Amino acid sequence: MESGNTFARLKSEGRVARQAVIIKAAERIFAGKPFNNVSIRDIAREAGISHASIYRYFPDQQSLFIEAFLQGAEKICTTLDGLIESTDPPDIVKVSDVYVTYLMDNDPYFRMMTHFMLDGSLSAEKIEKLNNAERRIFDQFDRLFRKMNRPEPVRPLSHALFAALNGVLITFRNYPGRTPQAVRRHMLKVAGVLARSFCFGP
């Protein structure tokens, strides 16, 4: 019985490891191409496997990218959770800085997020997965505003902060005539201005 359990565990671990290789390959390809221009063959070539092998782990391209998106959401939520939990009162400018920095440093995740937000062709199941991932980020922002003693309901504030910070990246990530370093500084500066505006008002 023990050897059977061990074999099953090793088989499961191997499957998870192969899925991780495929997801990382997809992220690298997606970093350089728009979603609709990325093919399963591109990802398979990057991962060093046959394109048919990918379908053993992901039924379609959208499922693969959604899984990659969910992993990115998990990472940013974990980071925000630690930052908000460790400071009292929390520094909303620091939280905003960390969020925007994560998206700048993880461009494939940001591309996936904006693509899926605008894609109306997703199935109800996939949309729900994306909504759950976004809700987890909103939940972190809710915690932030509650620790700032903002009155309930705080969820509209969380929605506004999420939209504002994502808007900074959409608006300025390809700012013409500026170096990448200057663009980065500008986005963090604008994010800080936005964050401080949430410290006041009703």
Residue 171: count of CB within 10 angstroms of its CB? 11
Q: Is the pLDDT of residue 131 over 80?
A: yes
Domain boundaries defined on the chain: 1-58, 61-202
Q: What pTM did the predictor assign?
A: 0.82
Which has more pLDDT, 76 or 111? 76
Summarize pLDDT for 161-192 with one digit per residue, the tens: 999 999 999 999 888 889 999 999 999 999 99
Phi then psi for residue 100, to 5 deg, are: -65, -40
Q: What one-character-per-residue DSSP string does 59-95 give?
A: SSHHHHHHHHHHHHHHHHHHHHHHHHHH-SS--HHHH
Q: Is the pLDDT of residue 140 over 60?
A: yes
Residue 135: count of CB within 10 angstroms of its CB? 14
Summarize pLDDT for 77-130 with one digit per residue, the tens: 999 999 999 888 889 999 999 999 999 998 888 888 887 777 767 788 888 888
Cβ atoms 169, 110 nearer than 8 A = yes
* pLDDT at 171 (0 to 100): 93
3-state secondary structure of 122: coil
- CATH classification number, 61-202, choose in 1.10.357.10, 3.90.1300.10, 3.30.1330.20, 3.10.330.20: 1.10.357.10
* pLDDT at 72 (0 to 100): 84
Domain formed by 1-58, architecture: Orthogonal Bundle (1.10)
> What's the mean pLDDT in 16-35?
82
Torsion, Cα 31 177 196 94, to 10 degrees, reads 40
Q: How far apart are CA 132 and CA 195, in angstroms?
A: 24
